[in-house]
Chains A and B, each alone.
Chain A
Amino acid sequence: MTFNTNLKNILLVVFTTLILSACSTAKKSNLDGDVYTGKETVKYLASGVPDRVFFATNKSSLTTASRATLRKQAKFLRKNKKLNVTIEGHADERGTREYNLALGERRANAAKDYLMTYGISGKRISVISYGKEKPVNPASTPLAWSQNRRSVTVKVN
């Protein structure tokens, strides 16, 4: 009897834990920390080559996923030797305008530096920061802000 109740309780706890963890994964499916991992706003330089990477709040460091994306971009650029690109750095709307301009510049350069370590000449890459001026998602939500913290690689020729 006692054994039975204990087992029931344990099963209940296990079951509840499973449900809770399922919920939290569902909620966070497009965010790793506060870095956007979804595809909703992403465009492609070529098939399988996403044009953008996303950043954490106030950060310009590249995540593992971002580095994988940039390696795909580097491979694409190595194949298309005459192609030049501009990397646009962006910030979300939750910071002061001037700091965001600097932050966008730092994000764009983080992407540029990574492409250069994979053999792309710096001469082929220009950078521009738009700070918080050009949101891709105009909503005032944590999801929109995560989509706006980005650097986007754009073909210029």
Chain B
Amino acid sequence: MKRISFFLIIFFLYTKSTYALIEIDITRGNLDPLPIAVSPLHVDVKSETHKDMNIKELGSEISKIIEKNFKNTGLFNPLKKEAFVQKPDIAHLKPRFEDWRLIKAQALVTGKLLVKDEKLKVEFRLWDLTAAKEMTALAFTTTPSNWRRVAHIISDKIYERLTGEEGYFDTRIIYVSESGPKNERIKKLAIMDQDGASTKYLTLGNELVLTPRFNPTNQMVTYLSYFRNMPRVYLLDIETGMQEVVGNFPGMTFAPRFSPDGKKIIMSFAEDGNSDIYTMDLETRVVERITNHSSIDTSPSFSPDGKFICFNSDRSGLQQIYVMRSDGSDVKRITFGKGIYGTPVWSPRGDLIAFTKVRKGRFYIGVMRTDGSGERLLTENFYQEAPSWSPNGRVLVFYRETKSGSKGEGFSASLWSIDITGYNERKLTTKTDASDPSWSSLLSK
């Protein structure tokens, strides 16, 4: 992906002092989605052509992406454009609030764009139709090929203004693309925009690859590869394609994740059949052993302040979730419910741990507080696991596999997301079968 810079100019400084009547409480699940009108962005007639882009339709395309983002949150109800009552350019100057209220819209997004000198200039405004006021406005400039990201950044700004939470639209998801029969699966690393667009494959499928995870501070990825039939943790720079093996371990390393500052990788190393947890500092290359126990210790995940690690161990006999200090001391079991627990992942907000639970042959994705209390199971299925957090800690993405017939027919793997409220479960669109998703941080942060 091209390195880009956005020039953010906030105009109409009085917007901050505007008293907002509309707001969305996203801590509740079953709310009525906010009716919002996203006007197509007005395309300035002075716009020039750019490569093979259809500039005339660009304003409309951007508004469609924004609408889709909003619809997918389950928090907004984007209204049909046929009912719109004002031309985009006029509405952008000042909407006739009472007319928009007639079509039951509570919020309105307007904007305009200009393509000139190989640059795309965009501005948008968010209007509170009930209070008849502008809520926020922003202008920025980028290269025209970044137009999809423009749509995601506008979505993020509006989401932030209306919910008070950071957005998650200008993000990507890395995952394992799967094809072929169940017992001869071909697996490749793939990356796509959060909305399923711009899929790219990062490996060729010659070797088995599993569990890619983003560095929370940049666009590096760590994953497990069976390159030369030696399962090891690798580091991949998705900008340059450069990759390297992490550390010099004489056996399998797996279950990697970054520390919250992105400077260390935490993972399992299996020695003589026993898996323990280790960290490696990516700069100094210093390896530290964190657990030393004759049971399986795996799936480690740091708390966002880096002080604690949650992990999966069968030291009690079956898989359970434990929390310890980041130096390995003070190990405490936190799951005591019926069933077995795996894949703990600490929320980026720090307040929850997401997990997979298996009970009576059914698989659940759930969240609990970091001391194990307040367990809430969000979704149940034949097989699902590996939750990964949206960067704002409000949504989980995970993968699900279907039951297969006697020859493996009917098998599929797909990515799903669900709000931590347990509402808005949704299948993600991927080009192929998919598993092991990991959500990036915001690209423009």
Does B210 lie within 8 Å of A97, measured CB to CB? yes
Given A97, A133, A134, A137, which contacts B385 in the complex, CB threshold below 8 Å? A97
Interface window among A23-31, A47-55, A99-107: A99-107
Contact with B along A94-124 (1 / 0, CB 8 A): 1111110111011011101100000000000
B342 smallest CB distance to A (angstroms) = 4
List 6 A-B pairs, minimum CB-CB distance, nearest first.
A109-B273, A138-B408, A96-B342, A138-B182, A102-B275, A102-B296
Q: What are 10 A-B pairs with beta-carbon distances under 8 A?
A: A97-B436, A99-B314, A99-B319, A102-B254, A105-B252, A106-B296, A133-B208, A133-B210, A138-B404, A138-B407
Is A140 interfacial (CB-CB < 8 Å)?
Answer: yes
B186-231 interface (Cβ within 8 A of A)? 208, 210-211, 224, 229-231
Of all chain B residues, which has the CB nearest A113?
B273
Is B383 interfacial (CB-CB < 8 Å)?
Answer: yes
Given A101, A134, A140, A141, which contacts B231 in the complex, CB threshold below 8 Å? A101
B415 smallest CB distance to A (angstroms) = 14
Q: Which residues of A contact B386 (CB under 8 A)?
A: 96-97
Q: How far is the CA of A97 from the CA of B342 in the complex (A)?
A: 9
Is B292 interfacial (CB-CB < 8 Å)?
Answer: no
Q: How many residues of A contact B (CB 8 A)?
A: 32
A123-153 interface (Cβ within 8 A of B)? 127-130, 133-141
Is A58 interfacial (CB-CB < 8 Å)?
Answer: yes
Which residues of A are in contact with B by a Cβ distance under 8 Å? 58, 60, 93-99, 101-103, 105-106, 108-110, 112-113, 127-130, 133-141
Q: How far is the CA of A115 from the CA of B367 in the complex (A)?
A: 43
Known contacts: A94-B383, A138-B407. The answer to whether A129 contacts B270 by CB under 8 A is yes
Does A128 lie within 8 Å of B252, measured CB to CB? yes
B322 smallest CB distance to A (angstroms) = 13
Given B211, B274, B314, which contacts A97 in the complex, CB threshold below 8 Å? B211
Does A99 lie within 8 Å of B408, measured CB to CB? no
A130 smallest CB distance to B (angstroms) = 8
Is B358 interfacial (CB-CB < 8 Å)?
Answer: yes
List 7 additional A-B contacts (Cβ < 8 Å) besides A98-B211, A99-B299, A135-B183: A58-B319, A95-B358, A98-B255, A101-B224, A127-B273, A138-B181, A139-B408
Known contacts: A98-B268, A101-B231. The answer to whether A108 contacts B273 by CB under 8 A is yes
Does A99 lie within 8 Å of B183, measured CB to CB? no
A155 smallest CB distance to B (angstroms) = 15
Q: Which residues of A contact B340 (CB under 8 A)?
A: 58
A149 smallest CB distance to B (angstroms) = 15
Is B82 interfacial (CB-CB < 8 Å)?
Answer: no
Q: How far is the CA of A95 from the CA of B71 in the complex (A)?
A: 34
Q: Number of contacts between A and B (CB, 8 Å)?
A: 110
Q: How far is the CA of A102 from the CA of B407 in the complex (A)?
A: 27
Is B440 interfacial (CB-CB < 8 Å)?
Answer: no
Given A93, A110, A128, A139, which contacts B407 in the complex, CB threshold below 8 Å? A139
Does A140 lie within 8 Å of B385, measured CB to CB? no
Does A96 lie within 8 Å of B299, measured CB to CB? yes
Does A140 lie within 8 Å of B268, measured CB to CB? no
Q: Which residues of B contact A129 (CB under 8 A)?
A: 231, 252, 270
Does A136 lie within 8 Å of B183, measured CB to CB? yes
Does B231 lie within 8 Å of A128, measured CB to CB? yes
Does B356 lie within 8 Å of A96, measured CB to CB? yes
Q: How far is the CA of A157 from the CA of B272 in the complex (A)?
A: 23
Is B89 interfacial (CB-CB < 8 Å)?
Answer: no
A112 smallest CB distance to B (angstroms) = 8
A30 smallest CB distance to B (angstroms) = 15
Is B318 interfacial (CB-CB < 8 Å)?
Answer: yes
Of all chain B residues, which has the CB nearest A127?
B273
Q: Which residues of A contact B298 (CB under 8 A)?
A: 98-99, 101-102
Q: How far is the CA of A136 from the CA of B184 in the complex (A)?
A: 9
Given B224, B312, B401, B406, which contacts A93 in the complex, CB threshold below 8 Å? B401
Does A133 lie within 8 Å of B185, measured CB to CB? yes
Q: Which residues of B contact A102 (CB under 8 A)?
A: 254, 268, 270, 275, 296, 298
B153 smallest CB distance to A (angstroms) = 34
Known contacts: A105-B252, A133-B185, A139-B404. The answer to whether A98 contacts B342 by CB under 8 A is yes
Known contacts: A95-B342, A96-B342, A135-B182. The answer to whether A141 contacts B406 by CB under 8 A is yes
B290 smallest CB distance to A (angstroms) = 15
Q: How far is the CA of A103 from the CA of B295 in the complex (A)?
A: 10
Is B411 interfacial (CB-CB < 8 Å)?
Answer: yes
Q: How far is the CA of A55 from the CA of B155 in the complex (A)?
A: 51
Q: Which residues of A contact B299 (CB under 8 A)?
A: 96, 98-99
Does A109 lie within 8 Å of B272, measured CB to CB? yes
Is B39 interfacial (CB-CB < 8 Å)?
Answer: no
Does A106 lie within 8 Å of B274, measured CB to CB? yes
